[in-house]
Amino acid sequence: MTEPQPSAANSGTPGTYPLISARMDDVTVFDIDGRKIGNFHAAHIHRQTGLVEYAVLSIGGFLGLGQSYHPVPFRTLRYDEKLGGYIVAVTKALLDGSPSYRPDNAPTWDAAYARRLTDYYASV
């Protein structure tokens, strides 16, 4: 894991959401049936509490082409020792319709975006 890097989008300035990001390496994510769906790309950590709030999943693509990032609440993940990765407690249909972005079009992680994610995953 790399060191958390603050960004201008989450520096704690008015209108932003106080997150720092830590890049994750080689951490596989599985669906609830144990099938690989992607990788745990980054963890978004709340600056004041130090708690991981979101896991950004990297799904699809080959060599970076067709890849998309899906932020999910960290509470939807649990680590599975036998699989050696995380299981996400979100159905494929819910994940497919979730707020997502491409590597070249990252959103501004502000309070409105955090609220959008929270509202979307409220039923999970």
pLDDT at site 8 = 36
The pLDDT tens digits of the residues spanning 15-41 come to: 456 777 777 777 999 999 999 999 999
Altogether, the residues listed in the chain come to a count of 124
pLDDT at site 86 = 96
**Which of the four pLDDT bands, split at 50, 70 and 90, describes residue 14?**
very low
Is 10 in a helix, a strand, or coil? helix
**Which of the four pLDDT bands, split at 50, 70 and 90, describes residue 119?**
very high
75: phi then psi, degrees, rounded to nearest 5: -65, -15
**pLDDT at 63 > cutoff 90:** no
Bigger pLDDT: 63 vs 95 = 95
d(CA 35, CA 37): 6
Mean pLDDT estimate for the chain: 82
- Which architecture does CATH list for 8-120? Roll (2.30)
d(CA 34, CA 31): 5
**pLDDT at 62 > cutoff 80:** no
**Which of the four pLDDT bands, split at 50, 70 and 90, describes residue 93?**
confident
- Cβ atoms of 120 and 72 within 8 Å: the answer is no
pLDDT at site 17 = 67
- What are the residue boundaries of the structural domains of the chain, listed by start? 8-120
Q: How many helices (H) and strands (E) does the chain have?
A: 2, 7
